[in-house]
Amino acid sequence: MSLASRLTRTPLPFDPARGADVAARYGDFPPEIRGVIAGTAGCSPYLAGLLEREAEWLRAALSGPIEAAFAAEIARLQEVALEALGAELRRAKRRLALLIALADLGGAWSLEQVTGALTTLAETAVDLALRRLVADEIRRGKLPGKGPDDAARAGGMVALAMGKMGAHELNYSSDIDLICLFDETQFDPDDRIEARAAFIRVTRKMSALINDITAEGYVFRTDLRLRPDASVTPVCISMGAAELYYEAEGRTWERAAYIKARAC
């Protein structure tokens, strides 16, 4: 089936009545902004729901520069405790997905700004989740030799952003590909098994915190399968084991995947 015939058979599901109803909530906004809101709500039931659910926040966000509103929401997350982090990340995802979409559809942001903002949200979620969870393991005495000050450095753990996330190219439907490693040289040989178990717990909890669908939605779908020999290795392995794998067994595509990789 040709592209032209597919487009003819599946017209854009625009609902002008829905768009007008949502835009009416923003009646005091300038006409050009109301037009973007009406078009957005009319074409996307998801964004229409966010325009209603986050109306109070969006009003404040659109009262100044879009970049400032985005930065303020990212900054707000920095103070959130572990117990509330899952819910607050989902709230931030709703707000910022809406803000980014309006900036995109209204032509206020370039493609690079849109994908960069989505990537910043994803790396903020991963970074905060790992640091909070590692801090909790340290508090419970599960990371030998580590104290509260080590939590700021994730206790020797790193999450590598791969693919689109690594290149700041996330789009609206992207999942995030991560490889989680820990520096085994930071632990005495007798303590490495216990440390490994703690970092495996952290990785699993981090993935669930970001990936799981709750009543508040989800943050990002998370894929951990790009790690070395994923079918037999745990979700977090030592840097030494990863290095040995890539030297002895790693396939060309596995090494090439690191072209876009970066610590997040």
Distance CA 86, CA 209 (A): 6
pLDDT tens for each residue of 130-140: 999 999 999 99
Q: Taking the CB of residue 223, how many other CB atoms lie within 10 A of it?
A: 15
Residue 178: pLDDT over 90:
yes
CA dihedral 174, 5, 41, 217 (to 10 degrees): -30
pLDDT of the residue at 12: 56
pTM, to two decimals: 0.91
Closest to 166 measured CA to CA, from 182, 177, 154, 158: 177
Half-sphere exposure of 13 (CA within 13 A, CB side): 6
Is 239:184 a contact under the CB 8 Å cutoff? Answer: yes
Phi, psi of 125 (to 5 degrees): -60, -45
Distance CA 168, CA 183 (A): 25
pLDDT tens for each residue of 199-228: 999 999 999 999 999 999 999 999 999 999
Residue 84 CA: distances (Å) to CA of 68, 74, 138, 159, 194: 24, 15, 19, 22, 27
Q: What is the mean pLDDT of residues 229-251?
A: 95
What's the mean per-residue pLDDT of the chain?
93
CA dihedral 14, 19, 21, 25 (to 10 degrees): 160
pLDDT of the residue at 2: 44
Q: What is the mean pLDDT of residues 108-137?
A: 97
Residue 196: pLDDT over 70:
yes
Amino acid letter, 233: T
pLDDT tens for each residue of 41-70: 999 999 999 999 999 999 999 999 999 999
Residue 11: pLDDT over 80:
no
